[in-house]
Structure 1
Amino acid sequence: MLQDFSVRGFRNFKDWYNFSLRTKKSYEFNCKSIVNGLVNDAVIYGQNGCGKSNLGLAMLDITCHINDIPIMQSLTKNYLNGYIDEEGFAEFNYKFQFGTDIVEYLYGKSSATNTIYERLTINKDVIVEIDRRKSNKLNVRLSGTETLNRDLSSSTISAIKYIKSNSVLDLSDKNSITFNKFTEFVSGMVFFRTLTQNADYYGQQLDTSRLSKEIIDAGKLSDFEIFLNEAGVECSLDVRGEGAEERIVFKYNDSYVDFGIAASTGTMSLGIFYFWWLKLDSNKLSFAYIDEFDAYYHYSLSKLVVKKLINVNCQTLLTTHNLSIMTNDLLRPDCYFILGDKQYPFYELVDKDLRKAHNLEKIYKGLKYESKE
């Protein structure tokens, strides 16, 4: 799981900006949202322009090192903070927790595709390191990499991806096992923004145009129908077509209308959410940063979506402006964060012990911390 993240020099983050998912609290309710002392389900608030979207993009920057995926187009033109000079670069620092093991990965990049340096440690021992400002020689201490070419002067590939693609690690070695856990976790990270057909996503190659086929192939048509009806969309669904042409349709007595044609913007966004939820619930994804997740939702529908996300086996961070989901009925005070000049866990802004009966939304509206943002 992701434990801590820091970034500087990327987009609006001129100086180091730190975000931690560790909790100091031991609330005795909604405990399933905390795993081994880390927040597994988080909701992030903040004023417009505070960096909620950029924080997600920064967290997912690591995926282009590990996965064979295209860089999000917007990142090829607007990557570095505007105050960074021609010789400057962005820096990213991740800490992951796997059981009792801590993996820290720090790297710097002058663009979305040009890595300057990398250093990976496992339990504070340096395992992988390269600094192209000094040398193109790769230093690596993993069993199974003994015959690996250490000279990376002919390639700009990330050292982590190079090792992952060109080595057969000895899985009797504890560090090699932990390294694999790290790369597998990163390969399962995804960012997506606004649950619409044209949503931006990053970290996975997924085709949302196959929404109907994905739901049908997963055998989830009936569950999808139940979900829509719970969300207030009274409908009956069926399948028409054969093979690759199978599609979900609305059933009206003896007539049928394609889901993609008849669905409103809000209903389509529910379909897109369900598509992503299938991915999150499949154990194929490890981490999801969902930006503006409820942009098209009624407040009561937002609560339904959060409830569904809480039950998936995936570390999930949501951004929103919807205060109605800031409630102990869904999560707990250490799962809500406010972004400003720094990260503020909600409970740190309150000068009293919070209990399950407290109205978090009301308390938040009464806080006087605006000057910090």
Structure 2
Amino acid sequence: MLLEFKVRNFRSIKDWQNFSMLAESKIKEHENNVITLDNYHVLSTSLIYGRNASGKSNLLNAFKALQYLVFESGDFKLDKKIPAFEPFKLDSRYSKDPTEFYIDFIADDNIRYIYEIGFNNTEIEYEILKFYPKTQPATLFERIKNKPIKYGEYLTGRKKDIEEKLYNNQLFLSKVGVEKLEALTSPYKFFSRGLFVSNFHDSKYDELLIQIYTNRIANDNLPFFKENMNILMKEADTGIERIEVTEEDIDVDLLPKEMSDEKKEELVEKYKRKIRTIHKFFDGDKEVGTVDFKLDEESTGTIKLLAMGGLILEALADGQVLIIDELDKSLHPKLTKVLIEIFHSKKTNPKNAQLIFATHDISLLNNELFRRDQVWFAEKEYEGCSHYYSISDIPGVRANAPFEKYYMSGRLGATPVINKNELNFQF
């Protein structure tokens, strides 16, 4: 569960910017949108608005960059540059400064952790992991460039073995993926399993997601996934009664001859299963049976719903933090609203999953759906840097304010400034 995220010197983000999922105590509306765990009161959803190029996607990409480093940097070669280093380019002073991330979260052991890193193009400048065994924070490890790593009393095990194998471009926490340290397993799993960032928009990505979920349905390795997907597709008024998975023959002779038999077998196993959508079949106005459709016969919106629905169902099943860039793309606004409300219900979200997404759909900007601390805006300053704020940061906006009207009139900021008089095209 995400509590707070901070980032500095990453893409359009110049100075420290804070994004919080902690519910503000002064805000009393929509208590069902708040998850209470021990003494923490956390928002189940947040959405981010802003004009094009304001930095919405860059905030979400910062989550992805941090996750990537935790998950992958343990395998970096000695001389590999750190690909996540993308400093703010519009101020010369920042090109040599580190990119910095700070994340405050509750892992699957129900313990709160704070993880901080700073890095440049070639090395990790600092890496600090703290946790809350009781009411006060304790350090698990602290790593500062050119200094020995300091270990807290709670971190036991063969940590020195990891330190000796650690390159300057690798995160210590990333090594937990292959070197077991019990005290670091839960924070590592938060990044590897508890956080999912979907920041691609093309149809190929949707097809890949659908293939992944097709195989999971076939292998029955996610309980009730097929049943829940059928409920979602039917209730979303797609005309689909249910989905089925079939196996198709793949002609291996069509694969490149230079490909190994092992690789061919792997590809066949991965792609032989296909989803078929089952629809009612009629003779005039009389229902006489069913007919199945191939996936490419369905609408773009239905395919998008299958992809997004899979992400959402998996997040709900595992209690994930799900971050999506443009959740509403190709979906009807009423359907997007229903997907959001799933996270607001204790019945449909018993494991406290969270949804964070960027959007341009102002129909969602509704005080009947969101609290003031759930609605965020990305604004780009004159110097080209992004900053982020919520409605609750704006003085004088009441709980019953017409959010959509205020936003479109410019009262909440983060709207494009377009001077039509300057559009002097020449033909």
Q: Quick check: TM above 0.5?
A: yes
The answer to whether the Cα contact below 8 Å between 1:138 and 1:159 also exists between their aligned partners in 2 is: no
- For the residue of structure 1 that corresponds to 2:141, the secondary structure is strand
Q: Where do 5+ consecutive residues of structure 1 fail to align?
A: 170-175, 201-205
Q: Distance in 1 between matches of 2:203 and 2:213?
A: 9
The structural deviation recorded for 1:289 is 1.0
Q: Distance in 1 between matches of 2:85 and 2:158?
A: 39
- For the residue of structure 1 that corresponds to 2:164, the secondary structure is coil
Q: Of 321, 329, 333, which residue of structure 1 is paired with 2:360?
A: 321
Paired position in structure 1 for 2:118? 108
Paired position in structure 2 for 1:43? 47
Match status 1:347 vs 2:389:
no
The structural deviation recorded for 1:212 is 3.2
Match status 1:332 vs 2:391:
no
Number of paired residues?
Answer: 352
The answer to whether the Cα contact below 8 Å between 1:194 and 1:295 also exists between their aligned partners in 2 is: no
The answer to whether the Cα contact below 8 Å between 2:35 and 2:41 also exists between their aligned partners in 1 is: yes
The structural deviation recorded for 1:140 is 1.8
- For the residue of structure 1 that corresponds to 2:128, the secondary structure is strand
Q: Of 130, 148, 153, which residue of structure 2 is paired with 1:121?
A: 130
Pairwise mapping of residues 124-273 of structure 1 onto structure 2 (< 5 A)?
124-132=137-145, 134-135=146-147, 137-141=148-152, 142-145=154-157, 148-149=160-161, 150-152=163-165, 154=167, 156-163=169-176, 165-169=178-182, 176=183, 179-187=184-192, 188-193=194-199, 197-199=203-205, 207-215=209-217, 217=220, 219-221=224-226, 223-239=228-244, 241-242=246-247, 245=273, 247-251=275-279, 253=281, 256-273=291-308
The structural deviation recorded for 1:331 is 2.8
Q: Describe the shift of the 1:163–1:226 C-alpha distance in structure 2 as closer, same or farther (beyond 3 A).
A: closer
Q: Deviations over 1:262-320 (max 9, x none)?
A: 1111111011111112211221x521111101011222222122123434331221111
Q: Describe the shift of the 1:196–1:263 C-alpha distance in structure 2 as closer, same or farther (beyond 3 A).
A: farther
The structural deviation recorded for 1:114 is 4.1
The answer to whether the Cα contact below 8 Å between 2:45 and 2:355 also exists between their aligned partners in 1 is: yes
Q: Distance in 1 between matches of 2:23 and 2:343?
A: 20
Aligned AA (2:277): V
The answer to whether the Cα contact below 8 Å between 2:27 and 2:371 also exists between their aligned partners in 1 is: no
Aligned AA (1:287): V
The structural deviation recorded for 1:250 is 3.3
Aligned AA (2:339): V
Paired position in structure 1 for 2:66? 62
The structural deviation recorded for 1:236 is 3.0
Pairwise mapping of residues 355-370 of structure 1 onto structure 2 (< 5 A)?
355=400, 358-370=401-413
Paired position in structure 2 for 1:286? 320
Q: Distance in 2 between matches of 1:102 and 1:49?
A: 34
- For the residue of structure 1 that corresponds to 2:88, the secondary structure is coil
The structural deviation recorded for 1:348 is 2.8
The answer to whether the Cα contact below 8 Å between 2:210 and 2:306 also exists between their aligned partners in 1 is: no
The structural deviation recorded for 1:143 is 3.6
Aligned AA (2:378): L
Q: Distance in 2 between matches of 1:199 and 1:245?
A: 17
Q: Describe the shift of the 1:199–1:51 C-alpha distance in structure 2 as closer, same or farther (beyond 3 A).
A: farther
The structural deviation recorded for 1:255 is 6.9
Q: Deviations over 1:310-342 (max 9, x none)?
A: 343312211111121122332322211112253
Aligned AA (1:161): S
The answer to whether the Cα contact below 8 Å between 1:6 and 1:18 also exists between their aligned partners in 2 is: yes
The answer to whether the Cα contact below 8 Å between 1:65 and 1:161 also exists between their aligned partners in 2 is: yes
Aligned AA (1:269): K
Aligned AA (2:126): Y
Q: Distance in 1 between matches of 2:413 and 2:311?
A: 34
Aligned AA (2:87): L
Paired position in structure 2 for 1:31? 32
Q: TM-score, normalised by structure 1?
A: 0.80
- For the residue of structure 1 that corresponds to 2:125, the secondary structure is strand
Q: Describe the shift of the 1:146–1:193 C-alpha distance in structure 2 as closer, same or farther (beyond 3 A).
A: closer
Q: Where do 5+ consecutive residues of structure 2 fail to align?
A: 77-81, 249-271, 282-288, 380-385, 417-427
Match status 1:303 vs 2:337:
yes
Q: Distance in 1 between matches of 2:170 and 2:85?
A: 21
The structural deviation recorded for 1:214 is 3.2
The answer to whether the Cα contact below 8 Å between 1:45 and 1:338 also exists between their aligned partners in 2 is: yes
Q: Percent of counterpart pairs with the same letter?
A: 21
Q: Of 99, 104, 122, which residue of structure 2 is paired with 1:90?
A: 99
Which structure has the larger Rg?
Answer: 2
The answer to whether the Cα contact below 8 Å between 1:148 and 1:167 also exists between their aligned partners in 2 is: no
Q: Distance in 2 between matches of 1:252 and 1:119?
A: 57
The structural deviation recorded for 1:158 is 0.9
The answer to whether the Cα contact below 8 Å between 1:95 and 1:105 also exists between their aligned partners in 2 is: yes
Q: Deviations over 1:10-57 (max 9, x none)?
A: 111122222222232341534343432222211111111111111011
Single out whichever of 48-57 and 206-215 deviates more from structure 2: 206-215
Q: TM-score, normalised by structure 2?
A: 0.71
The answer to whether the Cα contact below 8 Å between 1:238 and 1:251 also exists between their aligned partners in 2 is: no
Single out whichever of 285-294 and 61-70 deviates more from structure 2: 61-70
